[in-house]
Structure 1
Amino acid sequence: MKLYYSPGACSLAPHIVLREAGLPHQLLKVDLRRHQLDDGADYYAVNPKGGVPAIAFDDGVVLTEGVALLQYLGDRYAPALLPAGATLERARLHEILNYLSSDYAKAYTPLFYLAEGADRAAAGRPAMAKMAYLDSLLADGRPFILGAQWSVADAYLFALTRWAVDFGIGFDAVPALKAYMARSEARAAVRAALLAEGLGLQFGQG
């Protein structure tokens, strides 16, 4: 199994799930500016859409798009990482995954494409508003986004929320989200994925 990724991108989410599930895999780094692999190979030959993540399975099948990959990996290899099908809890998983992949991820777009001299604080307000909503969900004391059980949605939420630190967004106004990020980062699979991608710890030490 091959995971095509870019360090710290949304591909970190399926990377974490692969490690949570204990699945052997090969990491292939993608230069998203040139759409090339480290050996110069054309990434468009793997994924014509050009984005990450993509996973090439051992039978040659390639699957793309983070939400699809997270659910497939969970269903196929790690059922403990998502609620049972045809339940309200599974619908809640779909609900939060859709929110993360649309509203939340897109809220960071102004920061990724910030023009020189533009107001960074103003560009960060959409992301901060979404972080406040997520903080309100976690403020009821649940350890993870769906409740007591870590799920594929947590891998996605963790991967996206790391971007806030990269863009200098503070967490003082979202203490429940900050505590959640520290809990998530403390997981062995999460730390292993961060280490493999050359990423540092942002919410803890050691």
Structure 2
Amino acid sequence: MKLYYSPGACSLSPHIALREAGLAFEPVLASTKTHKLDDGTDYYGINPLGYVPLLELDDGTHLREGPAILQYIADQVPLKNLAPANGTLPRYRLQEWLNFIGTEMHKGFSPLFNPATPDDYKVVVKDKLKSRYTWLDKELAQKEYLMGDTFSVADAYLFTVTNWAGRTGVDLSAFPNVQAWHARVGARPAVQEALKAEGLNK
């Protein structure tokens, strides 16, 4: 498999999941600024949407969208418990988390990366994100991970998005449970490997 990624982007979550799963893969750097690979290949020719992540399976099939890729990875190694079994209520809980992270958190941060976003609107965006982290902090009060005692691919996704807080000026100091969870996930060996591979743990 090949994982097309850009350092620190949302593609970090499947990168973490692949390392947690112990699956063989080739990371391929796809710049979200130039949309070129290191060898000069036009990334739009591989993914017409131009963004990451993109997972290329061994048969050449392309799988887009982080939450779908995360679940695919988890289902390749069911004994790793990165996702509950399909058809069970816990699996729908995982999908609930993935949708929340994608729509409320991931897209919540997006305007803060856009230089055209007015400063007064950035204040509104940060307030909305803080309201979501307030809720998350309560959810994590009695849990090690989002799904309970077990790390899942949802943790990889939320960890990736939460990493953006420092870069965008979102203050998480009022959320001790979020901070403890973030440190717990960040200390996992597979997470450290992914961060190192992307040059993010300097």
Do both proteins adopt the same fold according to a TM-score greater than 0.5, normalized to the shorter chain?
yes
Amino acid at match of 1:44: Y
In the alignment, is residue 38 of structure 1 matched against residue 38 of structure 2? yes
TM-score normalised according to structure 2 size = 0.93
How far residue 60 of structure 1 moved from its aligned partner, in angstroms, is 1.1
Aligned equivalent of 1:4? 4
How far residue 104 of structure 1 moved from its aligned partner, in angstroms, is 1.2
Aligned equivalent of 1:204? none
Aligned equivalent of 2:139? 137
How far residue 89 of structure 1 moved from its aligned partner, in angstroms, is 0.9
Q: Percent identity?
A: 47
Structure 1 residues 116, 76: CA separation in 2 closer, same or farther (over 3 Å shift)? closer
Q: Decide which moves more: 111-120 or 151-160.
A: 111-120
Q: Decide which moves more: 129-138 or 181-190.
A: 129-138
The Cα offsets for residues 133-155 of structure 1, whole Å up to 9 and x where unpaired, read as 2112101x200001011001111
Aligned equivalent of 1:198? 199
Aligned equivalent of 1:54? 54
Q: Secondary structure at the match of 1:36?
A: coil
Instruction: State how far apart, in whole Å, the 2-side matches of 1:65 and 1:109 are.
Output: 16
In the alignment, is residue 151 of structure 1 matched against residue 152 of structure 2? yes
Structure 1 residues 144, 41: CA separation in 2 closer, same or farther (over 3 Å shift)? same
How far residue 121 of structure 1 moved from its aligned partner, in angstroms, is 4.0
Q: Is the 8 A contact 2:2 2:56 kept in 1?
A: yes
Amino acid at match of 1:39: D
Q: Is the 8 A contact 1:107 1:130 kept in 2?
A: no
Aligned equivalent of 1:94? 95
Q: Which runs of 5+ in 2 are unaligned?
A: none
Q: Is the 8 A contact 2:111 2:117 kept in 1?
A: no
How far residue 117 of structure 1 moved from its aligned partner, in angstroms, is 7.0
Structure 1 residues 85, 35: CA separation in 2 closer, same or farther (over 3 Å shift)? same
Aligned equivalent of 1:182? 183
Amino acid at match of 2:173: D
Q: Which runs of 5+ in 1 are unaligned?
A: 202-206
The Cα offsets for residues 29-59 of structure 1, whole Å up to 9 and x where unpaired, read as 1111221111110111111111100011121
How far residue 9 of structure 1 moved from its aligned partner, in angstroms, is 0.6
Aligned equivalent of 1:110? 111
Q: Secondary structure at the match of 1:70?
A: helix
Q: CA RMSD in A?
A: 1.6
